[in-house]
Amino acid sequence: MYKKPSRRALMRGKLPRPDLVPIMDSVFIFIFFLLMSASFIKIFEIPSDVPFFSENTQPENKEKPLALTIRVTETEIQILTGLPMTLLKNIRKLNPKDYDLSTLHDSLLALKKKYPKETMAILEPEIDLPYETLVQIMDEIRLLRKTDPEFYVKDKTGQEKRLKALFAEIIFGNIQS
């Protein structure tokens, strides 16, 4: 015949439950701290420096400087290189509104392949561009996307380092004008 288990027997089978109250307290404090420092809109920055003009003679360099300049006109984007500047490529607008930014990016990738150590680009918009278009052009000049080829340069220790940006330093060449 089935016998009802005694209370002591039932107690023996019980597992001790951990006291979660202190953990809950600390987690609650942590949540408030995170709520205070959370940013729900992602805001970033695009750095740029003021151009400096020096009258001193430059030290002699065996490698020819790239001196990459990107000029934005009413109808096209011009890629100029070298000193004195020579026109490398003209990129016509796709339509009266939009610039051909993918061709600009591809052309800059080809240049980066030749000059992997170059990081600076001079941007010279010659027309009254809206700020949004300017940011789009700056993105194409600066950023390396996941689908882009990888570039490596040797650092001071001789180890190869993967580049994270295309031409990261953008300088506005005509803010004085």
Partner 1 sequence: MRNARSIRKRGYKHRIAIVDLDITSLLDVIVILLVFLLKSYNSSGVTINVPPGITLPKSESSNLNTTGVSVQVSPTTIWVDDKVIYDINKSANISIYDQDKRRIIPLYNELMKKKNMVNRLEKASPQAQKFTGVVNLMIDRTIKYNYIKKLLHTSAQAGYLKYKFVVMGAIQD
Q: Which residues bind partner 1 (CB under 8 A)?
A: 17, 20, 24, 27-28, 30-31, 34-35, 37-50, 125, 127-132, 134-136, 138-139, 142-143, 145, 172, 174-177
Nearer of residues 2 and 32 to partner 1, judged by Cβ:
32
Nearer of residues 26 and 86 to partner 1, judged by Cβ:
26
Listed in sequence order, the residues at least 6 apart from 151 whose beta carbon sits closer than 8 Å to its beta carbon are 112, 113, 116, 144, 162, 163
Pair of tokens at residue 164: 């994270």
Q: How far is the CB of 2 from partner 1 (least distance, A)?
A: 27
Nearer of residues 2 and 44 to partner 1, judged by Cβ:
44
Count CA within 13 A, CB hemisphere, residue 118: 23
Asked if 49 and 67 touch (Cβ cutoff 8 Å), the reply is: no
Q: How far is the CB of 143 from partner 1 (least distance, A)?
A: 6
**Cα distance between residue 75 and residue 96, in whole Å:** 8
